[in-house]
Structure 1
């Protein structure tokens, strides 16, 4: 703890730092009157200054404040002293205080990520959990102007593109950063003048960490070339944030045009639309898709984006499938680009080709459930949804043609209950248009269905046998004819591995 003069801090709304915080909040519309704000509080200089500034402003604007502190356990006794300091300050201000101890080192080992990344993930998970549980509208963090400069330099050294040069965003969803326009030296000057104590984190001096080397070595060296290097980098980030927002406004309509389907954990884009864009726009479209299913672009590099954009030649029957960091699986041919995020680690794929397979599932549909507007069954194991609806045959044969995701069958030839399940060894049916019975396995092989996707395909079975291989073919026995009176219409949606992309890919694998 810094040894400062004793005395009760006297902070007011007229103080320069408090005014800067207020101006930043107003400029970015960070907090509305009457909202609640959870302050991520480490006890360091930045978060301490933020706490005092928001504490003063809260009374004027009716904000409800709370303090959240993560005990990361990385600095042994110092971490305990950090927790004691933050708890005591919360008590002195009569603010709600939330603290949790996290095994950051254990997370680092389990997820095979850096210690910095493990700590960041633990903090954000804790903050969001408290905000959701306790009803906080915003999460205020103490990132300041120099942090932005360091982030820009870090991203530049990593080979980041224009988006990486935007630095640290002042507002990102529920996260706000009211100190983002205040430099570090002004924060420490404010605390010293007000005789406010804060905690020092000695790990910030450990130059084994890249960010610390940038702060302690690189930026001081660059000051000999440009004494205002931090200000210059912050200004660059500010310019790039505005530029990026403008460009995304242009690219977003193109993304919506290219988007064929999306759902929890998957996005399907039209490869032809993607290929028709300038390379720069194509990269942004891919990053937009990845951000939607992954939540961020961490560990996604320029090389990964280029790999996705490297499309097969038009008309090629060659299909591409590969994996990206964060459990992202990519399918690509000349028609579709499919990005999915798997629930389990892709490390489960062994060198022998064995891969995580969908768990067994089975769902029952009784005849009584088809009354009225029909019913939907969601397959939790794959994310697919199947809608069953009864209609009558109006004689329009054009309306009876299936489109891959839709099947129509003679309702009066069906027995109930229906079972919706995945394929099992020995399954057979008579594909529409054929006479002899065929093993489902052979049907998959003939249609070039990747063996890793077969268990994700829903099979609809009546007591008499299989009547539909989801998204592919009905059984000959339930074919709709001119004599058909009642029709069962089945529609499949929401499953990335068995819908549009699988229909197109089945000829390629």
Structure 2
């Protein structure tokens, strides 16, 4: 089934009526069928949806849209019906009704003599686990299943039953949430492996085709629930209101706008791809973008690249909104290691030494609990595998200061504790005059985020952080010149002087 060499569209009328003597006059039902199939064929040809001989996984929910699509694809290539595989995904949201949908689709596949494959998932559980909305969680599970099924059955593309009506609703949905140009194009006709053969037809035309072809379809009651789902509210309330207030043709005008945006985006896409290729690295779970390649880009191009990276890396920017990409763009511009951006679906973006990494959110690193440090005395820090010892001695008896030895003001002996880093901690590093946040100090010293909470801090109730063990003392806590007594703190591992958490 291919568009190559088929002219402006497949000879649909001939396919449809060749068995009845090529009648010049067709009844109303035949006219509906021919018109519908001609439009589907033209759409597939225009957008180069199918390469000749390519197997298609047809996603069928059981609703009118997907049932009509399946019937149309079978009619448009009767000699290659074996090139179609029917797939259905049960979202686990509607109990017996969902099971009946699956049985209906299985029966359709048998009727057409096609292979059938089904999948099932717990959308509600996935939404809770991943922090997504129900619609986004359902779409991700469904698309994951469809991709796997396509691979298993040797299908290069996946046909979805979205219509022009769905595209207009998506346009308004994105507009109300605040979106960029990519959102205003609504649903694209092609984003491989997905194709949308019905994208130029309205929902009313689809149902008319089903009636003309004698097709039966299932109705999902949740599609009428305008209270729980914004898309339904747009479909059943906003669009009808716009048509009443501003006259018919509103939906057609919105569709023209979405198509115009699509065309504008299409001719700039090569620039986006070329620039992204220079900055992009992908691993099994994450995407890395080179900041040096991105920081000088215009805002519009940067936002396009960030969105494309999200789609390429995670199969779709589910639940991502304009503010997420804007926050990532700000992180790129600042380029500060440690900058983090929370993203939907349990993902995050974080800047790390010249790279923006997008991937699964990392748990907050563990931090050392607070423990008192007597003077003289010792405290064990088992999490870091070290001990901190304290004593007061004469300056002449004190060891030479260094990363594992702090020589401090002897007045700072009361109320000492050893603990890990906390947000807001700051001190004046030795040799400096201004206070510096511990987070910035760790970033400058290239201490990995995962171990920052394991660096022992010696803290005085009034002076604050007086020693970042293994690294630097506070300028405010150093022993005064000429003082006869000093406070000595030493960090040891296994009885020997040691660097904190493996950092020396």
The two structures, once aligned, show a CA RMSD in angstroms of: 3.4
1:33 and 1:63 in contact (8 A); partners too: no
| CA deviation map 1:27-86 (0-9, x unaligned) | 111112222111111111101111110111222456611211122332233222212222
What's the TM-score, normalizing by structure 1? 0.63
Indicate whether 1:19 and 2:24 are aligned. no
Partner in structure 2 of residue 50 of structure 1: 69
1:287 and 1:305 in contact (8 A); partners too: yes
Q: Distance in 2 between matches of 1:12 and 1:127?
A: 34
1:127 to 127, 146, 157: 146
Q: Secondary structure at the match of 2:339?
A: strand
Counterparts of residues 36-75 of structure 1 (less than 5 Å): 36-60=55-79, 64-75=83-94
Partner in structure 2 of residue 32 of structure 1: 51
Partner in structure 2 of residue 293 of structure 1: 313
Q: Secondary structure at the match of 2:217?
A: coil
1:271 and 1:337 in contact (8 A); partners too: yes
2:294 and 2:332 in contact (8 A); partners too: no
1:142 and 1:178 in contact (8 A); partners too: yes
Partner in structure 2 of residue 108 of structure 1: 127
Partner in structure 2 of residue 153 of structure 1: 172
Partner in structure 2 of residue 448 of structure 1: 446
Counterparts of residues 71-110 of structure 1 (less than 5 Å): 71-110=90-129
Indicate whether 1:213 and 2:211 are aligned. no
Partner in structure 2 of residue 475 of structure 1: none
Aligned CA distance change for structure 1 residues 72 and 294 (closer, same or farther; 3 Å): closer
What's the TM-score, normalizing by structure 2? 0.63
Q: Distance in 2 between matches of 1:445 and 1:145?
A: 51
Aligned CA distance change for structure 1 residues 122 and 290 (closer, same or farther; 3 Å): closer
Q: Distance in 1 between matches of 2:223 and 2:368?
A: 44
Aligned CA distance change for structure 1 residues 94 and 282 (closer, same or farther; 3 Å): closer
Structure with max Cα Rg: 2
Aligned CA distance change for structure 1 residues 20 and 339 (closer, same or farther; 3 Å): same
Shift of 1:272: 4.6
Aligned CA distance change for structure 1 residues 328 and 104 (closer, same or farther; 3 Å): closer
Q: Distance in 2 between matches of 1:287 and 1:148?
A: 19
| CA deviation map 1:188-244 (0-9, x unaligned) | 111112222111111111112110000000000011214112111211111111111
| CA deviation map 1:407-429 (0-9, x unaligned) | xxxxxxxxxxxxxxxxx969xxx
- List alignment gaps of at least 5 residues for structure 2: 1-28, 370-383, 387-401, 405-441, 454-504
Counterparts of residues 380-419 of structure 1 (less than 5 Å): none
1:290 and 1:339 in contact (8 A); partners too: no
Indicate whether 1:195 and 2:214 are aligned. yes
Shift of 1:256: 4.1
Shift of 1:18: 1.2
1:328 and 1:339 in contact (8 A); partners too: no
Aligned CA distance change for structure 1 residues 221 and 147 (closer, same or farther; 3 Å): same
2:32 and 2:212 in contact (8 A); partners too: no
Counterparts of residues 244-283 of structure 1 (less than 5 Å): 244-257=265-278, 259=279, 262-283=282-303
Aligned CA distance change for structure 1 residues 41 and 331 (closer, same or farther; 3 Å): closer
Aligned CA distance change for structure 1 residues 56 and 311 (closer, same or farther; 3 Å): closer
Q: Distance in 2 between matches of 1:301 and 1:193?
A: 41
Partner in structure 2 of residue 349 of structure 1: 364
Indicate whether 1:185 and 2:204 are aligned. yes
Partner in structure 2 of residue 231 of structure 1: 252
Q: Distance in 2 between matches of 1:223 and 1:197?
A: 29
- List alignment gaps of at least 5 residues for structure 1: 1-9, 355-423, 427-436, 456-509
Q: How many aligned residue pairs are there?
A: 357
Q: Distance in 2 between matches of 1:42 and 1:57?
A: 20
